A = this chain, B = another copy of it.
Amino acid sequence: MATADKRAKLRDDLIDAAETAVAVSGLSGLKARALAEAAGCAVGAIYNVFPDLDALIYEVNARTLRRLDAHLAAASDPGDDPETAMRKLALSYHRFSRAERRRWTAVFAHQIPDGAMPPDWYLGVVAQLFRHIEGPLTTLLPDASPQMRNGLARTLFSASHGIVSLGLEEKLGPAPDEVIANALVVMTRSWVLGLPGAVAPPTRP
Contacts and interface: CB of A to CB of B under 8 A. Distances in A.
A92 interface: no
B157 A172 contact: yes
Given A127-B173, A192-B194, A193-B198, A158 B154 contact: no
A183 B195 contact: no
A123 interface: yes
Contact of A174 (B117, B151, B161, B191): B117
Interface residues of A, number: 42
A179 B151 contact: yes
Number of copies: 2
B172 A126 contact: yes
Contacts of A167: 158
A48 interface: no
Interface string A125-147: 01100000000000000000000
Max count, chain B CB within 10 A of own CB: residue among A151, A169, A191: A191
A154 B186 CA distance: 12
A165 interface: yes
